[in-house]
Amino acid sequence: MARVVGHELHAYLRMEETDGWRGTDRQSAALADLLGLRLPDFVTVTGRNARLGELLRSAVTTRWQAYVRPVAKVVPLERQFLESALHGLHQDYQGHMAATLSWGGGRSDAGDTARDFLDRIVEHFWTRVQERPASPA
């Protein structure tokens, strides 16, 4: 595996032991191809899932535009596609949050829905990604 993806054996074994992938985009693509991984599985296997969740939560709760580049470092997809996905997630979350605001004091179930959306943000991201096929960057 190390030879096929272009890593020294010692460095590859260290990444295996620590569950932390530090390969280049080319090496990452080679690993995913070698293992026959779909992109969500690749992100999980390379230990990037938690980081992706952090970035997505920040993107939907603030200005999503600032998170296109950091998300692209975690998920190798074209920039335009990531922009569309992040913008859509931002709109979805903001719609949940807007439902919590009203002159009548808001609806607690809407707040729960917004929290649930954030808890499952990575799932929502992959659903949105699957809706519009794009080629990897």
* Residuewise pLDDT in 10s, the chain (137 residues): 888 888 888 888 888 888 777 777 778 778 888 888 888 988 887 788 999 999 999 999 999 999 999 999 888 888 998 999 999 999 999 887 776 655 555 555 656 777 889 999 999 999 998 876 544 44
Residue 88 lies in a domain: yes
- Whole-model pTM: value is 0.74
**Same domain? 20 vs 73:** no
- 23-54 exposure pattern, b = at least 16 Cβ within 10 A, e = fewer: beeebbbbbbeeeebebbebbeebebeebbbe
Residue 97 lies in a domain: yes
- Domain total of the chain: 2
**Phi, psi dihedrals of residue 110, rounded to the nearest 5°:** -70, -40
Residue 114 lies in a domain: yes
Residue 3 lies in a domain: yes
**Same domain? 53 vs 31:** no
Its domain, for residue 7, covers 1-36
Q: Write the DSSP string, 42-54.
A: HHHHTT-HHHHHH
**Same domain? 89 vs 125:** yes
Of 79, 77, 76, 82, the C-alpha closest to 27 is: 76
